[in-house]
Every structure is written in C-alpha cells, then in structure tokens.
Amino acid sequence: MQLRMLKGKIHRARVTGADLNYEGSIEIDSSLMDAAGILPFEKVDIWSITTGDRFSTYALPAEKRSGIIALNGAAARKVQPGDEIIITAFVSISEKEAEHWNPKIVFVDEKNRFKPLTHVPKAIANRRRLAP
C-alpha cells in the first residue's frame, strides 16, 4: 500500500505578487524550494492562512534569496500581495518508508527569509517521542 505523505512545506510565506495575465504557477524563492525539497514544475498545494482557500498549482523557481512568492494565472485570483500562505508538496511512499519519514519543513519570517526555530513544533516533537 502507498501512503500520501507530506514531502515539504514552506510555512507562513507572504505573497509578494499576483499576476493574473501570466500563464500559471507559483514562483518561489529557489533557496526556499531547495530547503523544502520542492522541485521545478512539481505540483504544490497552497493553503491560504488569510482567506482559508486551498488550491493547487505548480512550482517555478524565482531568484535565490529574493523572498519572491508570486502566484500567477488563475491562482492569482485566490491571493493578494501580503497574504500569508502555506506551500506544501506531497509524495507517495510505502508504509515501511513512512515509518521513518520526515518531511522538510521551512519556517520563514515576514520577508520570506529563513526563520530560526526557537522551539520544536509539537508534531515533530511528538513524532520523535513516538519513534521506536
């Protein structure tokens, strides 16, 4: 059996642009994509913290360390610059692989720069405690 597991997440990113007349996609600072393990043209799910909307598109790399998080095409109707979003990618893996699976989770500040962790998120702490 295959399970859909979180592969990577960029948590609380701020939208820096929304261009309805572009072909589509989300442009993501390539340093954030790399850290979250998100590949160019990979399907990503976007969860808007601001509006509660959820939608999918594909990722394109933006300039490294630029802080760019820009939605294009139809997805631009779902967000506005300044909105907070969560960007996720998922992977299908076996139950055996899932036993020790750890997603890549990236936390960012209001300028989409890497944010140092001051605590271990509950889900990660619980996972470590439950691991054999």
Residue 22 designated active-site: no
Q: Which residues contact 16 (CB under 8 A, 6 or more apart)?
A: 67, 68, 69, 70, 81, 112
Buried b (16+ CB within 10 A) or exposed e, 37-75: bbbeebebebbbeeeeeebebebbbbeeebbbbbbbbeb
Give the span between the Cα atoms of 106 and 127, in whole angstroms.
17
Q: Which of 58, 66, 92, 94 is catalytic?
A: 58
Cβ distance 16 to 79 under 8 Å? no
Q: Which of 25, 48, 56, 66 is catalytic?
A: 25
Residue 58 designated active-site: yes
**Catalytic residue numbers?**
25, 58
